[in-house]
Amino acid sequence: MKDNRHLTVFALTKYIKRKFDADPHLQGMYVKGEISNFKQHSSGHMYFTLKDEKARILAVMFSRYSRNMKFLPENGMKVLIKGDVTVYEPTGQYQIYVKEMQPDGIGDLFLAYEQLKKRLEEEGLFSKTAKKTLPPYPRTVGVITSPTGAAVRDIITTIKRRYPITNILLFPALVQGGQGATSIVKSIELANQRKEIDVLIVGRGGGSIEELWNFNEEAVARAIFASKVPIISAVGHETDFTIADFVADMRAPTPTAAAELAVPNIDDLLERVLNRQVRLVRAMKEKIGFQQQRYHRLKRSYAFRYPQRLYEQKLEQVDRVTEALRKSASKLSVTKAEDHLKLLRRLERKHPDELVKVSKENHFRLTKRLERSMGATLSEKQKEFAGMLSTLEALSPLRIMERGYSLSYNEDGKLIKTVSNVNKDDKIQVQLPDGRIHCVVSNIEESEGNA
């Protein structure tokens, strides 16, 4: 038979769940409490109980929400939560499905911290390349912290113990409370104005996050970044990370550690100096030893022990060479004498006496021949001459005149060849073979057709 009065557990649970889901006040609601029974599943989902003094509620945070959280929840932690309340049907338990969670109390500070950190990081204030290197042997260490408290004592005693030859200058600063940031910034600027500061320690001892808060402020971060003097941050304990720690050139986990980072250990340095001195002496000893050995080796050498051996051999050599020289010199002179004799003989054979004799005979013979031929030529020429003379005589005009011809000359002695050579009354001479007739031209007749 049908029973319509009784609901199934499932139906009831579904009904209750619908009531929860329909209530707008249970969706996207805010709740605060303390975490207990915290468990994180390997899937990343978180399961815990949120409680206060009087009540508790189961809570679930799925990994897709918890993934981006900036902190890891833990038991006892007070948190602020935003989520939806609904029923988990298999167990019939209502629970809150957490979508956002942040630590309670410091929630705003926490957010501010995260935001500032992100912004400064993007701006490059944390960049490794911007970090300055710490001086190895600072002559003056500047310390910016409260002049009272454990931090300043730890820093000063540590520096004095490790490196007593350095000076310390303390810049008293407020390191908590509203004026803290301004005080720290001013001290950093003052330290930069004083030229003697080689390295700065900025910090304070442990405390709550509110007490450390000055070191999370932007002004402090920027002052650290702007500092020309390298800065070591030393804020709180090992686990405390402040913005100042990220900007500083070096982060020390504690004030004591900051002092250790700031100065070397003098014992190490003394040992180093000593070690260098030992090495110097050893190197020099080795050097000298080596040169001494060289010197002794040379001194013991054969040449130095028996110096005469060096020249005895040479003397012998000189003798041998001298002998050879003498021999070859005499041999040379003999050869040369022979050569000379040979040449002399040849010269004698070539003596010019013979040549002179032959030449003289030749000369005599030639003279004779010359005389003979000259005589013959002369008589021949004389005969020729006589012939020519008689021919000449035959041609002489005197001979022609002997046949009745005469020559007429004018007063100047010029031969008259034509009637035009004379004028009437000219005195002319007529040459005959046996004398001259002086005449006067009485008349001139020109022959016909002889013009």
Partner 1 sequence: MPEEKELTFEEAMEKLEVIVEKLEEGDVPLEEAISFYKEGMELSKLCHNKLKHVEGQLTKILTDDGQTVDFVINEEE
Residues that bind partner 1 (CB under 8 A): 135-137, 139, 147-150, 152-153, 156-157, 160, 164-172, 190, 266, 269-270, 272-274, 276-277, 279-280, 283-284, 286-288, 291
Of the pair 157, 208, the CB lying nearest partner 1 is at 157
- The first and second tokens of residue 250, run together, are 């070096």
What does the alpha-carbon distance between residue 243 and residue 111 come to, in Å, rounded to a whole number? 13
What does the alpha-carbon distance between residue 254 and residue 145 come to, in Å, rounded to a whole number? 13
For residue 275, the minimal CB distance to partner 1 (Å) is 9
Of the pair 29, 190, the CB lying nearest partner 1 is at 190
For residue 266, the minimal CB distance to partner 1 (Å) is 6
For residue 213, the minimal CB distance to partner 1 (Å) is 21
Of the pair 33, 142, the CB lying nearest partner 1 is at 142
What does the alpha-carbon distance between residue 116 and residue 106 come to, in Å, rounded to a whole number? 15
Of the pair 165, 451, the CB lying nearest partner 1 is at 165
Of the pair 284, 439, the CB lying nearest partner 1 is at 284
CA distances for 205 relative to 7, 49, 188, 286, 355, angstroms: 65, 34, 18, 54, 140
Of the pair 278, 321, the CB lying nearest partner 1 is at 278
Of the pair 196, 384, the CB lying nearest partner 1 is at 196
Of the pair 160, 320, the CB lying nearest partner 1 is at 160
What is the residue type of 193? Q
Of the pair 59, 223, the CB lying nearest partner 1 is at 223
Q: Which residue reads 């499932």 in tokens?
A: 10
Of the pair 278, 366, the CB lying nearest partner 1 is at 278
Of the pair 151, 248, the CB lying nearest partner 1 is at 151
Q: Are strands 78-88 and 231-235 parallel, antiparallel or unpaired?
A: unpaired
For residue 171, the minimal CB distance to partner 1 (Å) is 5
For residue 136, the minimal CB distance to partner 1 (Å) is 6
For residue 191, the minimal CB distance to partner 1 (Å) is 9
For residue 216, the minimal CB distance to partner 1 (Å) is 25
For residue 167, the minimal CB distance to partner 1 (Å) is 5
For residue 211, the minimal CB distance to partner 1 (Å) is 16
Other Cβ atoms within 10 Å of 45 Cβ, number: 15
For residue 259, the minimal CB distance to partner 1 (Å) is 12
For residue 120, the minimal CB distance to partner 1 (Å) is 28
